Structures are given as C-alpha cells and as structure tokens.
C-alpha cells in the first residue's frame, strides 16, 4: 500500500542525502568549519538501497540524490546503478553544486542518472568566492557544459537570490540561460540557513523576479506545468526557453507535497521543517524486517502536519532549532 498522509497526499518522491560533507561553504548553508557526522553514522550504499527498496515497494517512484555535496561521496555511480535496477524507481535525479561534475557526469549518466540540477547563485567570480568561500566558478561552468554533452538536458539551474547580496543577477542569469539553453529556477531563501541571517526582508520573492524578467523578456505560463511540481514555470514569449520560480516562502506548495527525505545518517523526515525525524538506521542495523521498516515509515507519514512552510508564512518568523540544509538534504 502507498504512503498517504492524513491529508490524502500521496508520497512518491524521495530526497536522499548521501553525505553531509561539501567542497563549498555557501555561507547561508554551512559554517566555515563544519562538524561532519562521524563516518560510522553514515549509511552505506547498501543500507540506503535497502530503505529505498522498502519505499519503492510502497509507491515511491522518484529519487533525487542530494547532500551536502553528493559528488564528494565516493563511487556515486555505483549507488545510481543500484537505484536504476530497483523495481518501481522510474526517475533518478541529482542536485549538485557542479564543481566535480565535469569528470563525473558521463559515468553517472551511464549508470542511469536521468536528470541533474546544478545550484549556482552567481555568475560573478568574485561574488562566487564570497558566497561559497571557494574559487570554483570555472569548474562549475565546465561541469554544466559537460552535462549538456552527456545529454542531461534541459539543464536546470537552481538560483537563490538574497536581498542585498546577489539580487541584481536575475537578468544576467536569464541572458546566460537563454544563450546556453539552461532552465533557471529562482528559489526563495528559506529559514534553514546556517548563520541565523534569515529574515523575511532578505527573501527576494519569485513574483518580484518574474516582474523584472517579464519587463525585458515577456513571459507566458507554461501550459505543460505540473500542478504538483514546486516550480511555477514560464515560457519566454519569443521561444527562448523556460524559467521557473520556486516560491517556497511566498506561495508554499505544502498542499501538494509528495516529498519524503532520508538523511545521510539514516534519519527519515516527512517535511524539511519538521524536526520530528525518525531514526531508521538503528532498526535497520538491528535487523528489522522490511515490514517493520515500512511500518515505521507509515507511522511517520501519518504524523505529517499540514506543512512547515505554511506555518512560517503564518508566523512570519523562522521555526526554532532545525538542522541546516546541508545536514537534511536540500
Ligand atoms: N550541494 C548541493 C547543491 O548545492 O546543489 C546539494 C545540497 S544543497 C543543500 C541543495 C540546495 O539547497 C541548493 O540549491 C542550495 O542553494 C539550497 N539551499 C541551501 N540552503 C538554503 C536556504 N536557506 N534557502 C533556500 N535554498 C537553500
Ligand atoms: Fe555545499 Fe550545496 Fe550547501 Fe553550498 S548549498 S554549502 S554547495 S551543500
């Protein structure tokens, strides 16, 4: 039986974080000197695969691999190969910062990766260094070109614009995206940041960015929009491609949420913002059966609330003490 919650939302989409480690240090995501999970606490690929087989047996069809930075985990192609051979899994995608993509993308595509999203918040090398505390913009751009060569198109770029930091780059992203054939998706800054700087006033809303883009490149709603997908997508009227807006704060999409999350240390979360995660690693390592694991997952899904982002919107403040994105898997 599928995993449905009390609001009859079907959960068929899993984000699996394969590591909390990262080769960048985006200041809104992690501290300069993070404390990583001890290696013994990280699930190995076989353990992750076992949980994903249980989830797939109950209707999970899509798996997005994330982190931390998933490409810093060794042998990711082996994990993708395991997923690609899993009954029920129809779509395998990856969210990466792109730094290591250039050499890895072809083996990953060969292993069965269907789609890749690359996170990139600035096209300016100096700003890239400020935002990520590393100097790797050229590698990311080379990785994007390599992903296009490997056929993982249309490439999706995830961009978070922050008020007073990089909010002026929307137009530059659009110009570059139209030239390169990328689909940029502007994501609103969410209160899961590392450094306590989230504040509604720093959120550049999708509506604001859309208005700015529309003034230069008129947009029309994309008729092929999937209403349950988080991105509201628009087509450039002149045929120059597509752009998306993930309005996670100004228009939370909790009502259609189909997502579940597994962290690298074996915790299972039903909502980005809900700290009531359950531990699957301990029962898994103590020999729980597939039915036992499915029972724990079902119970957690039945406990899922209406939606964390909706609560933030209502309270207009950050939720207390949640893990940051690199530990949950964005
Ligand atoms: N390292 C990979 C990457 O950067 O794509 C995967 C993990 S990262 C946590 C996933 C996504 O979460 C990135 O697109 C990042 O920009 C986004 N993210 C992290 N913290 C965020 C926040 N507070 N608000 C919005 N997006 C955030
Ligand atoms: Fe690393 Fe991604 Fe977080 Fe940046 S957003 S620090 S790339 S996990």
What confidence tens digit (pLDDT) does each residue in 305-314 have?
A: 877 666 666 6
Domain 13-328, what architecture?
Alpha-Beta Barrel (3.20)
The pLDDT, as a whole number, for residue 311 is 66
Q: Contact 292/283 with Cβ under 8 angstroms?
A: yes
- 151-193 pLDDT, tens digit per residue, is 998 899 999 999 999 999 999 999 999 999 999 999 999 887 6
| Ligand 1 atom with minimal separation from the 194 CA | 23
Tokens (6 digits) for 70:
């998933």
Q: Minimum-distance ligand to the CA of 160?
A: 1
The domains of the chain are located at: 13-328
Of 65 and 1, the one with more pLDDT: 65
Q: Which of 62, 55, 126, 31 is nearest to 268 (CA)?
A: 55
Q: Is the pTM of this model over 0.85?
A: yes
Q: How confident is the model at residue 147 (pLDDT cuts 50, 70, 90)?
A: very high
DSSP H helices, 133-271, are 137-149, 170-180, 206-216
**Alpha-helix runs per DSSP H in 85-161:** 101-111, 125-132, 137-149
Ligand 2 pocket check for 22: Cβ under 6 Å: yes
Q: How confident is the model at residue 283 (pLDDT cuts 50, 70, 90)?
A: very high
CA of 99 to the centre of ligand 2 (A): 11
Dist. CA 193–CA 74, nearest whole Å: 26
pLDDT in tens, 61-94: 999 999 999 999 999 999 999 999 999 999 999 9
Confidence of residue 319 (pLDDT cuts 50, 70, 90): low
Distance 57 CA to ligand 2 centre (A): 31
Provide mean pLDDT across the span 135-154: 96
Cα 186 off chain centre by: 13
Measure 45 CA to ligand 1 centroid, in angstroms.
22
| d(CA 131, ligand 1 centre) in Å | 12
Q: What's the Cα-to-Cα distance from 244 to each of 15, 155, 247, rounded to whole Å?
A: 20, 12, 9
Please name the residue whose Cα sits nearest to atom 1 of ligand 1.
Answer: 69
- Read off the pLDDT of each residue in 208-228 and give the average, rounded to a whole number: 93
Is residue 244 a contact partner of residue 183, using CB atoms and an 8 Å limit?
A: yes
Q: Does the C-beta of 204 come closer than 6 Å to ligand 1? A: no
**Ligand 2 neighbour 274 (Cβ under 6 A):** no
Report d(CA 147, CA 153) in Å as an integer.
8
């Amino acid at each position: 039986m599928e995993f449905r919650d009390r609001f009859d939302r079907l959960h068929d989409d899993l984000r699996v974080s394969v590591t909390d480690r990262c080769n960048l240090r985006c200041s809104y995501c992690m501290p300069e000197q993070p404390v990583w999970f001890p290696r013994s606490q990280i699930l190995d690929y076989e353990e992750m695969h076992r949980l994903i087989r249980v989830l797939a047996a109950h209707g999970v069809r899509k798996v997005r691999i994330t982190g931390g930075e998933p490409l810093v985990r060794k042998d990711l192609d082996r994990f993708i190969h395991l997923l690609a051979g899993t009954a029920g899994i129809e779509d395998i995608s990856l969210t990466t910062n792109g730094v290591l993509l250039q050499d890895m993308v072809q083996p990953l595509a060969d292993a069965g990766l269907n789609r890749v999203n690359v996170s990139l918040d600035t096209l300016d090398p100096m700003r890239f260094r400020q935002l990520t505390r590393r100097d790797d913009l050229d590698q990311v751009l080379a990785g994007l070109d390599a992903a296009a060569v490997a056929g993982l198109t249309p490439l999706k770029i995830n961009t978070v614009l922050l008020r007073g930091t990089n909010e002026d780059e929307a137009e530059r992203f659009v110009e570059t995206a139209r030239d390169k054939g990328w689909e940029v998706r502007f994501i609103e800054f969410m209160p899961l940041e590392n450094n306590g700087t989230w504040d509604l006033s720093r959120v550049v809303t999708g509506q604001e960015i859309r208005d700015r883009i529309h003034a230069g490149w008129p947009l029309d709603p994309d008729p092929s929009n999937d209403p349950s997908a988080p991105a509201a997508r628009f087509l450039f009227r002149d045929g120059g491609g597509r752009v998306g807006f993930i309005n996670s704060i100004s228009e939370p999409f909790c009502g259609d949420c189909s997502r579940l999350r597994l962290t690298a240390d074996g915790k299972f979360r039903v909502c980005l913002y809900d700290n009531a995660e359950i531990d699957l690693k301990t029962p898994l390592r103590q020999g729980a059966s597939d039915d036992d694991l499915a029972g724990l997952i079902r119970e957690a899904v039945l406990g899922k609330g209406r939606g964390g982002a909706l609560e933030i919107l209502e309270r207009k403040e950050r939720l207390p003490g949640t893990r940051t994105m690199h530990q949950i898997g964005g």
